[in-house]
Chains A and B, each alone.
Chain A
Amino acid sequence: MTFILTEDQQLLRDTAIAFARDELPISRLRDLRDQAANGVDAEARAKLAELGFFGVMIPEAHGGSDFGMVGMGQIMEAQGRTLAATPLLQTALIGASVLGLGGSDAQKDAWLGKIASGETATALALDEGAHHNPDAIATTATEDGEGYLLSGAKRFVPNGQFADLFLVVARANDGLSLFLMPKDASGLSVQSLNTLDAHGAADLTLDNVRIDASAMIGQAGEASTLIDAVLDRARIGLAAEMLGSASMAFEMTLDYLQTRKQFGQLIGSFQGLQHRAAIMFTELELLRSSVGAALSAVDTGRNDVAELASLAKARAADTLHLISNECVQMHGGIGMTDAHEAGFVLKRARVAEALYGGAGFHRDRYARLNGF
């Protein structure tokens, strides 16, 4: 495990931060919201593809740059700094991981190149209820000749409103299976959702959707291990994004404390606010270490990735929750207005906190992993 970036990783980080700052500022998310675009931003997607960001976790043989999880984390953190709505988590991280870890040679040949180029956007269709729960999958996959018939419903699928290819989790042979399902599959209906964070999502209904056996990842009923590994990567990537959002919101707040005057004083000179700012800084430092350790653990193949993923996601949820609230409070009245950015942080925070398990889910999991 290491916390120090290589020169290449540092360069990738600098590029990603500059790109997000210049091309995907918070004002772009505001525009998307005002245009009721539901997080669909074709122009941003094209630019990300041009930079090669969709291929950072894909081997060079398939058109990627093979930067691994640490590299992916730098990009996620950068996009978190501007709350950018992009297909990176679902496609560059989750899609590339599902196929990279579980795909057959033929499946890799068919899809990894398209993911790396940005041509195909993927979306993980897993959860079905109001809360993240990978154990509660009711969607069924029934054998039917050379393929399967899938039926069920999926709730709040991020990027589902525009994904080209769904990675659908369904129950088959008393276990979980993963299927590749194109968006135009017959029997699949996609209901676009206008979400709190303006990133958008979709509910899916699967009514006897026929999937060829060649579109199943791995063996029927044996995808649990793969799903766990992919989910842990997704949680870590999301935690990196949340670290970026929390850092940005903290810097914004600190800046305000050093400009706003009341009672003839900078409000940042009041001890009541100074101590709260110092505590936020402390939480951020602990989060940065947790995310760094988790990213690096994936690349070095350590056996405690699950524990570190839950640590990173839970700490990210707690820290971003605190900072997004303090950001509004310390800005006072202006923080309550739609004209200010604080509200956008708060709204994105609540969605990111819940996605793939909130603090409670991951504390429960951490306790279980530690035997209590």
Chain B
Amino acid sequence: MADGAAHDTFRIEARNWLEENCPPSMRTPMSDADVIWGGKGQVFHNPEAKLWLERMGEKGWTAPEWPREYGGGGLSRGEAAVLQQELGRIKARPPLFSFGLWMFGPALLEFGSEEQKKRFLPDIVMGRTRWCQGYSEPGAGSDLADLQTKCEDKGDHYLINGQKVWTSYANHADWIFCLVRTDTSVKHGGISFILFDMKSEGVETRPILLISGSSPFCETFFTDVKVPKDQLVGEVNGGWTIAKRLLQFERQSISASGFGASTAGAGALGPHDIAKAKIGVNSDGALADGDLRGRIAKHLMYNKAFGLTVRRSTETAKAGGDIGPTTSILKYCGAKLNQDKTELVVEALGADGLGWSGDGFDKDELDATRAMLRAKGNSIEGGTSEVNLNVIAKRVLGLREHQ
């Protein structure tokens, strides 16, 4: 690498610091139950997880590229990449999962006032405040800009009434970043971006039970919620620009995580490993179920081509090329891949993939079944696959709107 020498000093610094500060249990593989989301309600079952978050937070390395003045690490892109490599080298767990870090913080850095950045960003870096995203409404899903949650100017405060849905972890969140309607006479130009405390009077959350048995989302109700005026971000009626930018950050974080496909049940085994174990092989070593074998091979090849496309897109970006057209396909392909993979795993498991709970099934098997069910949401959340195809057709291919 051309910039290798310039970062040698930083690499040694980072390596030494991590060696001293990353506790031993934070260098082991983690399960969903080990994830730290931060916030006032966070319970640390492992004291080393708390220590790890505190140390990384104080260093600003939970948000390596955010400016020092807001609690971030103040690292250059190159240094942040080196830090990522060093964290990977010791297999360190991420100290914090956070919508504040992935979505809200980056948007606030671009659109927030100086006072708002100083007030909110440091607590995100330290994992002290857990944020949720108030976007979708019962009548505004794919057509997000049709949102109706009302926000009235009452002189010294705003008054909010309405309902959000699919609010991820709203029942665990301390604060919400929320899209509200401040003008009913225009669609996109009547939306504002506002922040408030989830403990405010008039806020109620109800978890939604999914087909997978988990409840990662809530219905969220606002009845006469009073919000101080200095908590509106950007201009009144200027929220749609911020909303779209934040969606870009969201899609980036979804694509980068691959929907957690790597940890989606049945350990780290691929569908072909499971199928071999559960179904058996012919004398030539080929999986005995020829039809399933062909479908698994097709899936693995699609997965490989997808990985190569992510790499090509990264390389093209580094070389200064236009990656818009290539990245537009990642969300669509990523959802399809994770759905195909989790379905193939359940099919390969046979009866062992058809349990719901209790004795008679391994934890990995139960997780795999639930992962298949949960994955159905991948082509709905963060923009449905159909909306993604619309975006490719119109913005990349230049096809026109129907008149």
Q: What 1/0 flags go to B198-234 for Cβ under 8 Å of A?
A: 0000000000000000000000000000000000000
Q: Is the CB of B390 within 8 A of A274?
A: yes
Q: Is the CB of B332 within 8 A of A282?
A: yes
Q: Is the CB of A372 within 8 A of B311?
A: no
Q: Is the CB of A366 within 8 A of B300?
A: yes
Chain A residues whose CB sits within 8 angstroms of the CB of B285 once the complex forms: 368, 371-372
Chain A residues whose CB sits within 8 angstroms of the CB of B392 once the complex forms: 278, 281-282
Q: How far is the CA of A274 from the CA of B321 in the complex (A)?
A: 26
Q: Which of A257, A271, A275, A367 has the most CB of B within 10 A?
A: A367
A144 in contact (CB, < 8 A): no
A90 in contact (CB, < 8 A): no
Given contacts A3-B316, A277-B397, contact A293 B272 (CB under 8 A): no
Q: What 1/0 flags go to A339-372 for Cβ under 8 Å of B?
A: 0000000000000000000001001101110111
A314 in contact (CB, < 8 A): yes
User: Smallest distance from the beta carbon of A263 to chain B beta carbons, Å?
Assistant: 10
Q: Closest A residue to B398 by CB, please name it.
A: A258
Interface size on A, residues (CB 8 A): 42
B140 in contact (CB, < 8 A): no
Within 8 A of B (CB), among A242-300: 254, 257-258, 264-266, 268-271, 274-275, 277-279, 281-282, 285-290, 292-293
Q: Is the CB of B402 within 8 A of A265?
A: yes
Within 8 A of B (CB), among A310-338: 310-311, 314-315
A225 in contact (CB, < 8 A): no
A4 in contact (CB, < 8 A): yes
> Which of B276, B306, B394 is the one whose CB lies under 8 Å from A286?
B306
User: Smallest distance from the beta carbon of B274 to chain A beta carbons, Å?
Assistant: 10
Chain B residues whose CB sits within 8 angstroms of the CB of A279 once the complex forms: 389
> Which of A254, A265, A271, A286 is the one whose CB lies under 8 Å from B403?
A265
Chain A residues whose CB sits within 8 angstroms of the CB of B297 once the complex forms: 363-364, 366-367, 370
Q: Is the CB of A274 within 8 A of B304?
A: no
Q: Closest A residue to B307 by CB, please name it.
A: A289
Q: Is the CB of B333 within 8 A of A363?
A: no
B298 in contact (CB, < 8 A): yes
Q: Which of A270, A271, A277, A289 has the most CB of B within 10 A?
A: A289
> Which of B296, B308, B390, B393 is the one whose CB lies under 8 Å from A367?
B296
Chain B residues whose CB sits within 8 angstroms of the CB of A314 once the complex forms: 301
Given contacts A367-B293, A372-B287, contact A281 B397 (CB under 8 A): yes
User: Smallest distance from the beta carbon of A342 to chain B beta carbons, Å?
Assistant: 19
Q: Closest A residue to B329 by CB, please name it.
A: A282
Chain A residues whose CB sits within 8 angstroms of the CB of B45 once the complex forms: none
B266 in contact (CB, < 8 A): no
Within 8 A of A (CB), among B252-304: 272-273, 275-276, 281, 285-287, 293-294, 296-298, 300-302, 304
Given contacts A258-B399, A370-B272, A370-B300, contact A2 B315 (CB under 8 A): yes
B156 in contact (CB, < 8 A): no
User: Smallest distance from the beta carbon of A73 to chain B beta carbons, Å?
Assistant: 14
Q: Is the CB of A285 within 8 A of B286?
A: no
Q: Is the CB of A3 within 8 A of B311?
A: yes
Q: Closest A residue to B385 by CB, please name it.
A: A275
Q: How far is the CA of A1 from the CA of B301 in the complex (A)?
A: 18
Q: How far is the CA of A296 from the CA of B148 in the complex (A)?
A: 53
Main secondary structure of the interface of A (DSSP, over half): helix
Q: Closest A residue to B272 by CB, please name it.
A: A372
Chain A residues whose CB sits within 8 angstroms of the CB of B396 once the complex forms: 278, 281
Chain B residues whose CB sits within 8 angstroms of the CB of A254 once the complex forms: 397, 399
User: Smallest distance from the beta carbon of B310 to chain A beta carbons, Å?
Assistant: 8
Q: Closest B residue to A270 by CB, please name it.
A: B402
> Which of B276, B312, B332 is the one whose CB lies under 8 Å from A372?
B276
Q: Is the CB of B305 within 8 A of A4?
A: no
User: Smallest distance from the beta carbon of A279 to chain B beta carbons, Å?
Assistant: 7
Q: Closest A residue to B293 by CB, please name it.
A: A367
> Which of B276, B294, B329, B403 is the one whose CB lies under 8 Å from A363?
B294
Given contacts A275-B389, A367-B293, contact A292 B312 (CB under 8 A): yes
Q: How far is the CA of A139 from the CA of B108 in the complex (A)?
A: 72
Chain B residues whose CB sits within 8 angstroms of the CB of A258 once the complex forms: 398-400
Q: How far is the CA of A278 from the CA of B336 in the complex (A)?
A: 14
Q: Closest A residue to B315 by CB, please name it.
A: A3
User: Smallest distance from the beta carbon of A39 to chain B beta carbons, Å?
Assistant: 31
B115 in contact (CB, < 8 A): no
B386 in contact (CB, < 8 A): yes
User: Smallest distance from the beta carbon of B116 to chain A beta carbons, Å?
Assistant: 38
Chain A residues whose CB sits within 8 angstroms of the CB of B296 once the complex forms: 367, 372
Q: Closest B residue to A287 by CB, please name it.
A: B305
Chain B residues whose CB sits within 8 angstroms of the CB of A285 once the complex forms: 309, 325-326, 329
Q: How far is the CA of A368 from the CA of B312 in the complex (A)?
A: 27
Q: Closest A residue to B401 by CB, please name it.
A: A269
User: Smallest distance from the beta carbon of B45 to chain A beta carbons, Å?
Assistant: 38
Q: How far is the CA of A363 from the CA of B397 in the complex (A)?
A: 30
Chain A residues whose CB sits within 8 angstroms of the CB of B302 once the complex forms: 286
Q: Which of B309, B326, B401 has the most CB of A within 10 A?
A: B309
B33 in contact (CB, < 8 A): no
Q: How far is the CA of A270 from the CA of B401 in the complex (A)?
A: 8
Given contacts A258-B399, A282-B332, A367-B296, contact A271 B312 (CB under 8 A): no
What residues of chain A have their CB less than 8 Å away from a CB belonging to chain B?
1-4, 254, 257-258, 264-266, 268-271, 274-275, 277-279, 281-282, 285-290, 292-293, 310-311, 314-315, 360, 363-364, 366-368, 370-372
Per CB-CB distance, the 5 closest pairs between chain A and chain B, nearest first, are A274-B393, A278-B392, A289-B308, A286-B305, A289-B309
10 extra interface residue pairs, beta carbon distance < 8 Å, beyond A275-B389, A285-B329: A268-B399, A269-B399, A275-B386, A277-B399, A281-B397, A282-B332, A282-B333, A285-B326, A364-B297, A367-B293
30 A-B residue pairs with Cβ-Cβ distance under 8 Å, sorted by A, are: A1-B311, A3-B315, A4-B319, A254-B399, A257-B399, A265-B402, A266-B400, A269-B403, A271-B390, A274-B390, A274-B394, A278-B389, A278-B390, A278-B393, A281-B397, A282-B333, A282-B392, A285-B309, A286-B302, A286-B308, A286-B309, A288-B312, A290-B304, A292-B312, A293-B308, A363-B298, A366-B297, A366-B300, A367-B296, A372-B275
